Amino acid sequence: MIRGTDALGERLARGGALPPLVWIATDETLLGLEAADAVRAAARAAGYDERRGFHAERDLPLSDLLHEIDSPSLFASRRLLELRLSGKAGKGTGDALADLVPRIGDDVRLLVSGPRLDRQATESPGFARIDRTGWVVAIAEVERAALPDWIGARLARQGQRADPATLRLIADRVEGNLLAADQEVRKLALLLPAGPLAADAVRAAVLDVARWDVFDLVEAALGADVQRALRCLQGLRAEGTAGPVILWALADALRSLLRVDAALRQGRPLAQAMRDARIWGPRERLVPAALRRTTPELRRRLLRECARADRILKGLERGDDDAALRAIVLALAGASVPEAVVRSA
């Protein structure tokens, strides 16, 4: 398996023939597009001048793919077939694609792109066959903590550089939107000269294009990043996200912490407890610290405050809904919040 766009670039730079099948799996739209463009460029350089696209929402268009693989082209001697998967690949997807590979001759190459692969897909026999005869390119999401460095690397490509504070500023403005981050970096190349960038000039040039979701909020709170959690809450409210949706995400995180804590008290390993509570991805690293930082009593109290904030939002109880949400987020993030804060909201 090839992990990341840099590893893919190194593999392509070595030259040599493209394998029959290249499968790009990622949830990062920008990085997936760039990886696919790199494969297309390599295919064109190798003489695969004709392209044909297919789209799969539920069922793979196997008969159409087989027809293209087995039929000679009228316009070019070599063809690149592209299959876009709109949903996650299941166990059967890998098996079906693996069965296609032996049918692919030297005049055809197949480029598959879709969401990241889960364990069910990667543990299938078909996936193992593809990984032996083709390239599976797994591109991880750019995590929030790594976003400033990612932006710095993009600036370096265009001969510009910025200090850590300025990189954090750009990251704050575009958080949750990698396409917007790339757009802003490209804009800086047009507006500002090469070399070191002045913070004031960057601040004036970069728009606030952050896009938030409730999962960003929960991860910031679990990670004790108070300022980011508050920015996220403010952004969600400004974008019109319904208060009950925010409360659902917070309450779900609190219940997950309680379930993991209860499993640990029963003697289960932490990894198993988190799997049973359906905790994965970035939260796997955040939950252990959140468990140490909060007590079961605090989590239960915050669940009660979530219920009270829900009544305020629905007009069933008097209070300031924004203050109630803010107090819950602060307490979950580990900020010192008097118990009376929510009650006085």
Please, which residues have CB within 8 angstroms of residue 311's CB and are 6 or more apart in sequence?
Answer: 317
Tokens representing residue 339 in the block:
């118990």
Identify the band that residue 342 occupies on the pLDDT scale cut at 50, 70 and 90: very low
Question: Which tens digits make up the pLDDT trace of 195-238?
Answer: 999 988 898 888 766 667 888 899 999 999 998 899 889 888 87
* Domains, the chain: 2-139 (3.40.50.300), 144-205 (1.10.8.60), 214-343 (1.20.272.10)
What is the model's pTM? 0.65
Taking alpha carbons only, the member of 181, 126, 191, 177 closest to residue 150 is: 181
Please, which residues have CB within 8 angstroms of residue 114's CB and are 6 or more apart in sequence?
Answer: 23, 24, 25, 84, 85, 86, 87, 88, 89
**CA pair distance 266, 310, nearest whole angstrom:** 32
| Residue 300, CB-side half-sphere exposure with 13 Å CA sphere | 6
Q: What's the distance, CA 93 to chain centroid?
A: 22
Tokens representing residue 164 in the block:
């850590």
Q: What is the DSSP letter of 146?
A: G
**CA-angle at 182, arms to 46 and 33, nearest 5°:** 35
Q: Is the pLDDT of residue 7 over 80?
A: yes
Region 99-113: mean pLDDT is: 91
Per DSSP (E only), the strands in the chain are 2-3, 21-26, 50-56, 79-85, 108-114, 135-139, 160-161, 195-196
**CA pair distance 277, 259, nearest whole angstrom:** 7
**CA-angle at 286, arms to 283 and 289, nearest 5°:** 150
Tokens representing residue 1 in the block:
């398996």
- Look-up: residue for tokens 């929030």? 144
pLDDT for res 172: 85
Q: Is 142 helix (H, G, I), strand (E, B) or coil?
A: coil
Sign, CA dihedral 146-215-272-137, equals: negative
240 by Cβ neighbours in 10 Å (0-12 / 13-18 / 19+) ranks as exposed
Q: Is the pLDDT of residue 128 over 90?
A: no
**CA pair distance 63, 203, nearest whole angstrom:** 53
pLDDT for res 58: 67
Which phi and psi angles does 323 have, rounded to 5°? Answer: -65, -40
3-state percent helix, strand, coil for the chain, nearest multiple of 5: 60, 10, 30
Please answer whether residues 155 and 185 qualify as being in contact, where contact means their C-beta atoms are separated by less than 8 angstroms: yes
Q: Is the pLDDT of residue 79 over 70?
A: yes
Please answer whether residues 22 and 114 qualify as being in contact, where contact means their C-beta atoms are separated by less than 8 angstroms: no
**CA pair distance 126, 131, nearest whole angstrom:** 9
**CA-angle at 32, arms to 31 and 38, nearest 5°:** 90
Question: Which tens digits make up the pLDDT trace of 27-48?
Answer: 898 999 999 999 999 999 999 9
Question: Which tens digits make up the pLDDT trace of 273-289?
Answer: 998 888 887 788 899 99
Tokens representing residue 32 in the block:
């997936």
Region 316-320: mean pLDDT is: 88
Please answer whether residues 217 and 246 qualify as being in contact, where contact means their C-beta atoms are separated by less than 8 angstroms: yes
